[in-house]
Chain A
Amino acid sequence: MEGNDGPSGTRITTFSISSTAILRVAAALCLAGYVFVYAGGRAETPIRSDGFSYYVYLPSWFLFHDTTLSAVARDCCGGVFPTYTAIIRWPGTRRWVNAHPIGVAIMQAPMFGVAHALTRWTNLSADGFTMYYQHGAGLSGLLWIVAGLVVLRRIVRRHFSDSVAAATLLTILLGTNLYHHATFDSSYSHPYSFFLFAAFLDLTETWHAQPRRSTSILLGVVAGLIVLTRHTNVMFLLFFPLYGVVSAASFRARLAVIRREARLVAVIGIVATVVVIPQLAIYYQATGSPIISSYGSLGFNFGSPRIVGVLFSVQKGLFFWSPLLLLACAGLFGLARSSHSARAFVLPAVLFLVANTYVIASWWDWQFGASFGHRAFVDALPVFAIGLAAFFEWSGRNPARRHVVTSVVVIAIALNLFQMLQYWNGVLPFSDTTWDQYRGVFLKWR
């Protein structure tokens, strides 16, 4: 990093590589990591664990022309889905109910189409699970993360210099578990939510700058997909009404804008509802009710949330495994006390992060099973990125501070990548890591 003058004349942190070049580097690194994981046999096939149940709709709909999942169950598994798939027979109807909704499958559909055409061309078995389908699903997650970074760059560039945007993108990708989800676990829902959150922030900002019908339709589509990808992420939609609210007066002004543009707000709501309807129809077909708890008896313990566990524990603590996100929180705090244009994001960001943490900490399996770091927070990384950019801008104003922050970031990224490789190689446990286990393998390859 080097110093230069920012848009406001202040001396800020700079990166000698532009943010567009960082995007190209990010795409290349993700692709190289993906090849490293699968060519080296570090992971099983991409469609595995939760990735199976997110994806299984595609072969069911397009290859077996069946919305009940029964035909694909017969073909893949002799009629009964294995326990790990979290696809259960609904008591009463005995029909299959998938714990995971259809959003990921919808966003995987383009790559599924390519994979299916190649499968026919090479004469592989067109059952939805042979090689091209596997890597179509795997690469789909990777591509949506790169697309999310592209959108995130656009948001960050609106408020910060190019060098701050470059440093932010690189840090979010390599200093958190985002890179892991672009490569090792790319078939899970988190790459898709990462893109959708970035897109929703971008469209929200565009809409509030100039409300248009086209932006409203896109907002509706993205809002619907956010709910279809992970139902609890419906909380993220509060960014739309709360964007730009920094005081009681600005809140009243925001309400006035929403009232004035009621027709366009209705367009957003109608489009989002239309996008969500197929999921309700699937639930209705399987259970006789359009709204259900698809996890069956598994659910939330709202009375005893594991807040400290999800934030700081060695098992899966967000800040234990991605400590650089503490800088993002400091950046959001700094923005709240400033008159910076990115301050418009702070109130909804804080409310969402608090509510999201509470919901994640209340889930019966607060570690969210196997993952490097806490995977439930990957969705929210675009929000953290805004805080991180603010922190980088602040730190760049003072050369001594800039050098300290640069050193800390570089060390934290190196540690993160090393620990990610430990996880890939089975040195770090998939979940339930203890302090003794962590200390025992700290900075060790084996």
Chain B
Amino acid sequence: MALTRRHAILITVFVAAAALLGYLRDPPWLLSTTSGLRPWETDADGTRFRWMGGHASVFVPSSARAVELPVRTTFNAPGDWPITVTVAIDDRMSDRIVLSDGEWRSMRLRLPPPGGRKVRRLDIRLDRTRDDNYGAAIGELRIR
């Protein structure tokens, strides 16, 4: 049976889609991808941080054994409640901390053994935010 032009197009589309899906399984740009974080800012003492709302996610190499996550919030208004920060690694609960003052806290996260992917996803969630969806400031991750 001769290969028609239509068959050739279908095969090309199928192969291209398969190749694209293969690439998207573990793409190299994932490590620099974040979500739920505002642009970088710098504190008076030179600490770099980004504000998050209720939920943010970042990625770390799966070869990492531990990650240190600096986090703090503000208590500008008299009625401001403490904020609970929860971190999950690849959808599994990892650590929780309550921010009850305006100081930087460091969450030390031990990563489970690497799985089949080159990167791991850290989901950071807050139980509440301040005005205009400002929740917690996230500092630069220290990966070991």
The chain A residues found within 8 Å of chain B, CB to CB, are 73-80, 82-83, 118, 121-125, 127, 129-131
Contacts and interface: CB of A to CB of B under 8 A. Distances in A.
A129 B35 contact: yes
B53 A131 contact: no
A47 to B, nearest CB: 11
Contacts, number: 70
Contact of B129 (A78, A121, A124, A125): A78
A129 B53 CA distance: 12
B21 A121 contact: yes
B57 A130 contact: yes
A79 B55 contact: no
B121 interface: yes
B24 A122 contact: yes
Contacts of A130: 35, 57
B120 to A, nearest CB: 8
Nearest to A129: B35
B56 to A, nearest CB: 9
B125 interface: yes
B27 A78 contact: no
A124 B57 contact: yes
Given A123-B117, A124-B57, A125-B123, 12 more contacts: A73-B54, A77-B53, A78-B127, A78-B129, A78-B133, A80-B133, A121-B25, A122-B25, A124-B121, A125-B35, A127-B35, A130-B57
Contacts of A127: 35-36, 55, 57, 123
A79 B129 contact: yes
Contacts of B109: none
Contact of A124 (B33, B55, B132, B135): B33
Given A75-B125, A79-B128, A82-B133, A124 B35 contact: yes
Contact of B35 (A79, A122, A131): A131
A30 to B, nearest CB: 21
Residue of B33, B54, B57, B128 with highest tally of chain A CB at under 10 A: B54
Nearest to B27: A122
Given A82-B132, A124-B121, A76 B33 contact: no
Contacts of B129: 77-80
B107 interface: no
Interface in B117-144: 117, 119, 121, 123, 125-129, 132-133, 135
A357 B108 CA distance: 59
B25 A125 contact: no
Contact of A122 (B30, B90, B132): B30
B121 A125 contact: yes
B66 to A, nearest CB: 20
B133 A123 contact: no
